[in-house]
Structure 1
Amino acid sequence: MLRREAPPARAGISGRAVDLLGELLVTFGVLCALYLVYLLWWTNVAAGMQNRAASSAFQHTLTTTRSSVAPTDDLADGTSFGFLYIPALGPGWRALLTQGTERTQVLNTGAVGHYSSPATAMPWDASGNFGIAGHRDGHGMIFRDLDKLKPGDKVYVQTVYGWYVYQLDREAPSVPINDVNVLAPIPVGSGFTDAGRYLTMTTCTPMYVDSNRLVWWGHLVQTTSRDVLPAGLGS
């Protein structure tokens, strides 16, 4: 009677190693897919819910605050103080402006954050650089299409103190993420040389890598009272 010999022990160990490696690769693939679902879908859903609630609350503030209230720069991080409109990004495009750029408290809620560290000017200040930031991927992706803007496009800021209109002048497609000079009162790289009332908008680039910043600079061209809609902005 013939007897079947057992396979070599080494082959059995190699087979188990290959099986284990395959299982690990499948698990890794599933985890990557789940992370992409979280980043590209769920974070946007969660940010949308938070942003709608905060926007509704600030809209109430706009309609109930007295027009005679004096402007103040003393805002706690997480405080909403205005709406941002950029018609070039599409009809009805609007973002909530919130003090600070901390991720969990501000940016991950889908808001556009105002740089409070390093400190930058507010729109109603007599001079300085109004610096703001927003996410480009995930968490509402509010600045996703910032690279599609062009010089001459207008940016509108609505606050309880009035409207402030900026015209975009120059883009820096990529600067080091730790370059705070772009937020200086006279922002470095903007082409501006004298004190004025400027705007700096930043977002991470490239998308999904976020190793650098995309930057837009502009200057103030118009102000109106809170009850007067600026020219060029549809009702």
Structure 2
Amino acid sequence: MFDPGFGDRTAELVVPSRADLDRRAARRAAREAAPAALALPAGGSSGPSGASDGDADPPAPGGRAARRKALQEQQKSARRRGAKPGAKPGAAVPEGAGRAARRKAAKPSTRSRVLTAVATGVGEVAMTLGLVLVLFVVYTQWWTNVVGDRNAARETKQLQEQWDKGQTGEAPLPAPDPRQPDGFAPGIGFAVLYIPKLSVKVPVAQGTDKYKVLDKGLAGHYTDPKTAMPWDKQGNFAVAGHRNTHGEPFRYINKLGKGDSIVVETATMYYTYAVTSQLPETSPKNIGVIDPIPKQSGFKKPGRYITLTTCTPDGASTYRLIVWGELVEERQRKDGKPDALVAPGS
């Protein structure tokens, strides 16, 4: 056996005391008991079979991090079901709370539906108004012209057929109305007016009533104030007509120039006038333009004149456009048409 030598105390064996041995045994027992304590759920203890006491859920597998993650997932699921934050995981969501949550969630959807319905209604109203406007424009700018042209053509044909029969003796001319000046009833055609340059052919009726005469596509003879007839020995035969809509017979009279022809046909005669001047714009109240010697026309003495009046500017009725002419030829109807109606463009 090895002898360390005299005086070397470091190699001597130290024999533990009884107290040291007891302390070591206690520490070893504590270390062995620690893992088992960590495995037990809070609030319960293991029985002989290892089952936990109470109603607590079984622990999630894994360590502390796994259990914490499982708890967070349970809380999220509870919030999605309508449970209040902090409620015990797995607790049932109260029915009332669920309905309130659903009503709250439905409110934005209801507002959205209301806004959509309002927008749809406004859009439908706008489309309806637009369609009405389009139909109105079509009616005024197109259909009234169709009807006016049709009425004018029918009236002209009837007049000329009556005149032809009267001249041949096949049928008498209509008896004049003794209650009316010049024997013509209001709204009844008694002449046909031609403007060869503009290819205009329109019957002339007694009076200038908008609905009884002008809107029917006819030209109207001024009777208030009274103006002359073509066959009068002197005076001013004044006639009005629409410039827009309802046949618009005077649509382009602003294009007439000095010397252009205007012809008036009656039962027995043709009266041919030559344009002398034009007034581009005047007030509707300026009735002096249809006087026997029309003001602003340039005429200085009595004669046999014609005056055409219509609205201006184009598409409005703010002012009046005036064209004047002077009689240059009379011709018996039985002798045939005047040169102005047989020349090219008539």
Please indicate the TM-score interval, normalised by the length of the shorter structure: 0.7 to 0.9
Deviations 1:105-125 (A, max 9, x none): 111121111111221110000
Deviations 1:23-76 (A, max 9, x none): 443332222111111112211222233222212210112112349x9x982311
Shift of 1:12: 8.3
Shift of 1:19: 5.3
Q: Which residue of 1 aligns with 2:129?
A: 28
Residue 55 of structure 1 aligns with an amino acid whose one-letter code is T
Alpha-carbon distance between aligned partners in 2 of 1:170 and 1:219, rounded to the nearest angstrom = 10
| Aligned mate of 2:193, from 84, 89, 93 | 84
More helix by share: 2
- Equivalent pair of 2:204/2:220 in contact (CA under 8 Å): yes
Alpha-carbon distance between aligned partners in 2 of 1:13 and 1:227, rounded to the nearest angstrom = 78
Alpha-carbon distance between aligned partners in 2 of 1:12 and 1:218, rounded to the nearest angstrom = 70
Structure 2's unaligned 5+ residue stretches are 1-79, 83-100
Structure 1's unaligned 5+ residue stretches are none
**Residue 120 of structure 1 pairs with residue 221 of structure 2:** no
Residue 234 of structure 1 aligns with an amino acid whose one-letter code is V
Mapping of residues 52-67 of structure 1, within 5 Å = 52-66=153-167
What is the RMSD of the two structures over their aligned residues, measured on CA atoms? 2.6
- Equivalent pair of 2:184/2:206 in contact (CA under 8 Å): yes
Aligned residues: 231
Q: Which residue of 1 aligns with 2:313?
A: 206
Q: Which residue of 2 aligns with 1:44?
A: 145
Deviations 1:87-142 (A, max 9, x none): 1113xx31111111112211112111111122111000011110001111111111
- TM-score normalised by the chain length of structure 1: 0.87
- Equivalent pair of 1:163/1:224 in contact (CA under 8 Å): yes
Q: Which residue of 1 aligns with 2:250?
A: 143
Residue 230 of structure 1 aligns with an amino acid whose one-letter code is P
Larger Rg: 2
**Residue 197 of structure 1 pairs with residue 304 of structure 2:** yes
**Residue 171 of structure 1 pairs with residue 278 of structure 2:** yes
Alpha-carbon distance between aligned partners in 1 of 2:289 and 2:130, rounded to the nearest angstrom = 39
Residue 214 of structure 2 aligns with an amino acid whose one-letter code is L
Residue 233 of structure 1 aligns with an amino acid whose one-letter code is L
Shift of 1:198: 0.8
Residue 50 of structure 1 aligns with an amino acid whose one-letter code is N
**Residue 133 of structure 1 pairs with residue 234 of structure 2:** no
SS in 1 for 2:342: coil
- Equivalent pair of 1:166/1:221 in contact (CA under 8 Å): yes
Alpha-carbon distance between aligned partners in 2 of 1:109 and 1:214, rounded to the nearest angstrom = 21
Alpha-carbon distance between aligned partners in 2 of 1:223 and 1:166, rounded to the nearest angstrom = 9
Q: Which residue of 2 aligns with 1:98?
A: 205
**Residue 152 of structure 1 pairs with residue 259 of structure 2:** yes
**Residue 234 of structure 1 pairs with residue 345 of structure 2:** no
Which structure ranks higher in relative contact order (CA pairs < 8 Å, sequence separation ≥ 6)? 1
SS in 1 for 2:310: strand
Alpha-carbon distance between aligned partners in 2 of 1:56 and 1:224, rounded to the nearest angstrom = 20
Alpha-carbon distance between aligned partners in 1 of 2:197 and 2:255, rounded to the nearest angstrom = 8
- Equivalent pair of 1:124/1:161 in contact (CA under 8 Å): no
Residue 79 of structure 1 aligns with an amino acid whose one-letter code is I
Alpha-carbon distance between aligned partners in 2 of 1:193 and 1:8, rounded to the nearest angstrom = 83
Change (3 A) 1:181 1:14: farther
Q: Which residue of 2 aligns with 1:73?
A: 182
- TM-score normalised by the chain length of structure 2: 0.60
Alpha-carbon distance between aligned partners in 2 of 1:179 and 1:15, rounded to the nearest angstrom = 57
